[in-house]
Structure 1
Amino acid sequence: MPKEAQTQLHGMLGVQEDDGKGVYLGLPYMIGRSKNEIFDFVKERVWKKLQEWKEKALSQAGREVLIKAVVQAIPTYVMSCYKLTKTLCDDIKALIRNFWWGQRGTEKKMCWVRWNKLCQPKSEGGLGFRDMEAFNLALLAKQGWRLIKDPESLAARVLKTKYFGRTNFLNAKLRSNPSYLLRSLLEGRRLLNKGIVWRVGNGTDIKVWDDPWISCPPSFRVSQHAKMLWPDARVCDLFDNHSGGWRMDLLSALFLNHEIQSTPHGGLRMS
């Protein structure tokens, strides 16, 4: 939109112009190329909170509680919607790490243990601090799971209409110029795809060759070493309608033995 038209529209609506870096409901409403610049306010919030505590005499146990209960919670809301860059996550990690080791002002403190070690569970010798990148992906995967479990929610319906109207979230593809929100959610989907498996019911919605539906990691899919079924075959096509179980002749002809054992109930009759 031309600058003159923007100015006229702002005057008609009675709103102020800004540089596109505003925040609405805690999230940036415009995201450009520089993600570090757009989301720098998250790092700024962490830094300000840590500055409030740095001059106080705190034990390491006290610093641990503050980090886990307050500081690591600051980026949670933004991370549940957008993928922060590795640079930004590293900067936040550095701020937290320096605070943990007792740094004050510009002084430097020796870090006696690798931060990755401290991020491990206490049962494995760590302290249970969050790995910011992994936590970010986990939150995005959780949002993706919500879209899958509740496709009639407002967010799911809006995203489906705008980005993947002819398919579902699990099979959505990136089109030209997608929003950063969609890119972020699809990053979370990559984590979901590592362990998500269909629960077989009537089998009408599960594709035999394309969908993960057997308990055989890492892909949870059957191999296509035989082509006795059409490409779009559904799991329900493998059922014996009379006995209520599997058609063992088809399973034996189509799948490897370990794949048969990995089907629900191991290829046995299903109740």
Structure 2
Amino acid sequence: PSKTFSFRLIVVALYLAFALLKLQADWLSGFWIIEQLKVPDKLGEWLAALMTLVEMIAPLMLLIKDGRYFWSGWFTLVIYHAGMAWLGLTHLSLLFLGILVFLALADIEDRKLEREYIYQSFIHPEPSRFWTFLFLAIFAFCQLVSDFNWFHAHTRVQSFAALYTPYQISKVETCDGRLWKIYDQGWEASSFPTVEGRDQSMICHPYLRFLDLKAECQQLKNEPGFRTLAGVFESQRAFDGVSEIHFQSSDICNPHYQYSDVGKVKWNTKHVQ
């Protein structure tokens, strides 16, 4: 029930989640924009703040029934994503542009139905929106998990929340992965697999790199004497030098070892036989 409204609300929540990720020095310093556009430092800071405000305010206008506000917010977001695509974030921008086209068509259809059925609310009761708000509550909880110290010691909760938290594509960071192939008779140093065509902004995405290693396991499983992969993946923010170990394990190829099992500061040997 109320699918269009639910979808619109979820899209707005996603925009706000991205905006929340930008409310930190790594983005507001304008470092990413300066690197992309080669503009003066102060202009980069202002553009970073402006883009954050766009993601915070324009999506909220999509919830307003007044067509003037809805279409003002809609055109603002279209221009915003066109600019982001020009800056190199092509895949994500095209995805959101497609979503905006759907919302525009849905809004036109809704307004048409309102004109045709003036008394529709008396004929058909308003559908329940309980599940929509329940999902939004869970989504909001996942965005805030990293801000509470209690969750830092509960990696399962953090891993679950990470699956529903947008990756901060604006982060300027370097990442490094060390990998070893484990054989019956010893081990061999290797390197993380690379995927052709992946957006530059996604190169350091820990979940995608984890999936890359799982795919590598499938390719190596028939190699004589091969047992598993051991590896560490970490990244470092360019702005403040803060580094983080995203995952590390001595038995990556174990089918029971999933991203939800990832530990942050120690070798995960939970599934080693």
- Structure with the greater relative contact order (CA < 8 A, sep ≥ 6): 1 or 2? 2
Question: Higher strand share goes to which structure?
Answer: 2
TM-score after normalising by structure 2? 0.25
Q: Considering only CA atoms, is the larger Rg found in Structure 1 or Structure 2?
A: 1
Q: Which has the higher helix share?
A: 2
